[in-house]
Amino acid sequence: MRLITAIIKPFKLDDVKDALKAANVTGITVTEVRGFGRQGGHIETYRGAEYKVDLIPKVRLELVVEDTVADRVVEVIVKSAGTGKIGDGKVWITDVSRVVRIRTGEEGRDAI
Amino acid sequence: MEPAGLAWVLISSALVLFMTPGLAFFYGGMDRRRNVLNMLMMNFYCVLAVPVLWMVLGYSLAQVPFENDFIGGFDSFLLGDISEAGDGGTLATIAFLGMFAAITPALISGAVAGRMKFAAWAVFVPLWLFIVYVPVFKSVYGGWLGQRGSLDFAGGTAIHVNAGIAALAAVLVLGRRRVDPAPPHSMPLVMIGTGILWFGWFGFNAGSALNANGQAAQAFMNTFLAGAAAGLAWVLTEWIRDGKPTNLGAASGIVTGLVAITPAAGYVSGTAPIVIGAIAGVVSCYAVRLKTKLRYDDALDVVGVHFVGGLVGSLLIGFFSNPKFFGAEFGAGLFYGGDTRLLIEQAIANGAAIAWSFILTFVIMKVLDLTMGVRAEVQVELTGLDLALHSENAYHD
C-alpha cells in the first residue's frame, strides 16, 4: 500500500477531488496548511504599512491506495491540480506497512 | 428635563454603552488571534469597573458643585444627595456621562495591545479615571477651560485628545512589542466593530445636546456626514498613495471622522461636517505612519486616529463654529464672523488637556511599573495573552 500526499493550491481542491472521484478513489483527507516554497509569499498593506506574508495557504491531500494504482492516482492529481504557474505544489508517494479499518478491524486492501 | 429630551438621553446612553463592545471588536479584529480575548477583556473591563466607580465618586468629582473651577466635590458621593427620582433628568445625565467615562479609558487599550499585564490594566483604569479623566472632564465642562470660552460638544478634547495622548504616554513606559507587528487577524471583526461604533456614536454626539432639539438633530446629521466624508477621504488618499482601497482604510477613516466631529457636533452645520471629516481623514491617514518613523509602538493607532483626529476637529471649531444657526450664545468661528479668539481658546484648552494627560498618565504608568510591573513576561507575550492571562482561547475547532 502507498500513502499519497499532495500539497496543492486551495482553489484547485474541487477539481482534484472530482478527478479523484472519477478515478474511483474511495476516500481522501484534506487539511488546510501554510508553508513556503519557490513561490515565496506576498505583501499585504494595512494603514499604508506593508506586511510580508511568507507562509501562504495551501491544501494538503492524503490518501492511501493499493500499490498498483498509486502511479495512476499521482497522474490524476498532477493533471487536475496543475495551472502551469509557480506554486502549483508537489505530490509524493510513501510506503505504508499496515492499514486497519477501525470499525471492523479489517486490514490491508480490505481496509482501503 | 422634558419627557422627549429624557427619552432621547436614555436611548443615547444605551447607544454609547454599545460603543464599548464595538470598540472591542474594532481593536480585537486588528490584534493577533492569540491576543484577541485579552483585547476584548480590556475593553469590557471598563464597562465593569467604571459604572461602579462613577456611581461611587466619579460623577461627584466630575460634576458637583458646578461652581468649582477645577474639580467637583463630595456632595454626590454614592449619589447621596439624590433622594428622589424627580423628572429623571439628573439620573439620565449621570447614566449618560457614566457611559462616556467607561469608553474613554477603553480607547487607550488599543495602544498597549498584546503586551500589557491584565492586572496592571485593572489598576490603571481606576487610577486614570480619577487622576486624569475626571479633572480634564471637569476643566473642559464648566471648569476653567470651559469658562474661558473653549468649546467641546461631546468630548473631542475631554475624551479623544485626552485618551489619545495618554495612549502615547502609556506606550512610552510600556515599550515595544517583542515580535514584529502582524496584519489584522480578522478584518470582518474590524468592520463589524466599526459599524457598531458609528451606530453608537449617534448617541454619543446627538445625545450630548442633553435634549431632543434642533441642536441634537444637527449633531446627528454631522455624525452621519463626517464619518462618511472621512472614510471616503482616507480611502481615496491610500488609493492614490498606495495603489489599493482597503477595508481597514475605510474603517479607520470612518472612526477618524467620528472622532473629529465629536467636539464640533453641536456647533457646526451645512457642509462643515464634510470638510472637517475630509481634512481629518487625510491628516490621520498620514499621521498613523508617524509611529514607524518615531519608533513608538502604538499598536492599533490610538494616537494617529484619536489624538490627531480629535485635535484636528477641535481646532477646526475655531473656523466653522456657527452660533447663529443654532440661535445660541457661543463663540463664532473665523468663517462665521468670529475673530481668532475662539481658535486660540481651542488651542489653549487642548494644550492644557494634553499636558495634564500626558504627564500624569506617564507618572501613573511609571508608578505601576515600579510597584507591580506593567509588562507581561516574555513567555506570556509569545504564547499569547489569551491563554496565559485568561485561560481562554478565541478559536477552537
CATH number at residue B249: 1.10.3430.10
Task: With respect to residue A10, please indicate whether it lies within any of the assigned structural domains.
Answer: yes
For B:310-329, CB contacts with A below 8 A are: none
Q: Is B332 on the interface with A (CB under 8 A)?
A: no
Q: What is the pLDDT of residue B183?
A: 94
Cell of residue B325, nine digits: 444657526
Structural domain for A100, as ranges:
2-33+59-111
d(CA B48, CA B57): 15
Mean pLDDT of B246-253: 98
Task: With respect to residue B396, please indicate whether it lies within any of the assigned structural domains.
Answer: no
Task: With respect to residue B81, please indicate whether it lies within any of the assigned structural domains.
Answer: yes
SS3 A64: strand
Task: With respect to residue B157, please indicate whether it lies within any of the assigned structural domains.
Answer: yes
Task: With respect to residue A52, please indicate whether it lies within any of the assigned structural domains.
Answer: no
Task: With respect to residue B372, please indicate whether it lies within any of the assigned structural domains.
Answer: yes
Q: Is B176 on the interface with A (CB under 8 A)?
A: no
Given a contact cutoff of 8 angstroms between Cβ atoms, the answer to whether B97 and B55 are in contact is no
Across the interface, which of B182, B183, B242 has its CB nearest the CB of A48?
B242
Q: Is B250 on the interface with A (CB under 8 A)?
A: no
Residues of chain B neighbouring A48 (CB-CB closer than 8 A)? 238, 241-242, 285, 288-289
Q: What is the pLDDT of residue A69?
A: 95
Task: With respect to residue B33, please indicate whether it lies within any of the assigned structural domains.
Answer: yes
Split into its structural domains, chain A has a count of 1
pLDDT tens-digit series, residues B121-169: 999 999 999 999 999 999 999 888 999 999 999 999 999 999 999 999 9
Q: What is the DSSP letter of B375?
A: B
Preferred mutation among A47, A53, A55 to probe B, highest tally of B CBs within 10 A: A47
Across the interface, which of B182, B244, B248 has its CB nearest the CB of A47?
B248
Tell me what the pLDDT averaged over chain A comes to.
94
Q: Is B238 on the interface with A (CB under 8 A)?
A: yes
Task: With respect to residue B397, please indicate whether it lies within any of the assigned structural domains.
Answer: no
ipTM over 0.90: no
Provide the angle, in degrees to the nearest 10, between the axes of the packed helices B3-30 and B187-206.
160
Q: In sequence order, which residues have a C-beta less than 8 Å from that of residue A50 and are 6 or more positions away?
A: A43, A44
Contact B285 A48 (CB under 8 A): yes
Cell of residue B6, nine digits: 429624557
Q: What is the DSSP letter of A107?
A: B
d(CA B274, CA A108): 73
Which has the closest alpha carbon to B112: B200, B43, B201? B43
pLDDT at B324 over 90: yes
Residues of chain B neighbouring A51 (CB-CB closer than 8 A)? 181-183
Cell of residue B359, nine digits: 504627564
Q: In sequence order, which residues have a C-beta less than 8 Å from that of residue A29 and are 6 or more positions away?
A: A61, A62, A63
Residue for grid cell 487607550: B108
Tell me how many degrees the CA angle A51-A57-A63 measures, rounded to the nearest 5: 165
pLDDT tens-digit series, residues B53-96: 999 999 999 986 656 667 788 888 999 999 999 999 999 999 99
Preferred mutation among B246, B256, B282, B293 to probe A, highest tally of A CBs within 10 A: B246
Which has the closest alpha carbon to B300: B127, B106, B137, B123? B106
